[in-house]
Amino acid sequence: MHLLWWIIVGLFAGWATGKIMRGSGYGPLMDIVVGVAGAVVGGWIMRAVGFQGQGGMLYTILVAIGGAVVLTLLYRLLVGPPGRGKGAGPTPIDEGKGTSNLRKVA
């Protein structure tokens, strides 16, 4: 029963994190992984701050969302924002360098 609880909380927390961080989620499986990892990190942070670490469903979901948001922020700081892969267009740093598609065509 606890495994099912973790899966439900992880799925909801991962989906909510995708929405909060201006995305569409990561797909059901990755939402669960992100949410469960967020619950672990969020629980650790809450205990480090001095909270008891026990609560109902709402407390658990909020802590999982908070931990997942922190993990997503750290991931984006290390890897970069999503959508900047190959073929994504110029980055804000490249925009002022004078390269354009018109020059490539000519």
* Confidence (pLDDT) at 24: 62
Name the domain count of the chain. Answer: 1
- Mean pLDDT of the 91-98 span: 54
Which segment of 6-20, 25-39, 62-76, 79-93 scores lowest on mean pLDDT? Answer: 79-93
* Confidence (pLDDT) at 72: 86
Q: Are 25 and 51 in contact (CB under 8 A)?
A: no
* Confidence (pLDDT) at 105: 55
Query: Per the domain annotation, does 12 fall within a domain?
Result: no
- Mean pLDDT of the 21-42 span: 81
* Confidence (pLDDT) at 5: 84
Query: Per the domain annotation, does 22 fall within a domain?
Result: no
Residue 72: which domain range? 34-82
Torsions phi, psi for 50 (to 5 deg): 120, 5
Residue bearing the bigger pLDDT, 91 or 44 = 44
* Confidence (pLDDT) at 77: 87
Query: Per the domain annotation, does 15 fall within a domain?
Result: no
Judge if pTM exceeds 0.75. Answer: no
Query: Per the domain annotation, does 104 fall within a domain?
Result: no
* Confidence (pLDDT) at 85: 54
Q: Are 16 and 42 in contact (CB under 8 A)?
A: no
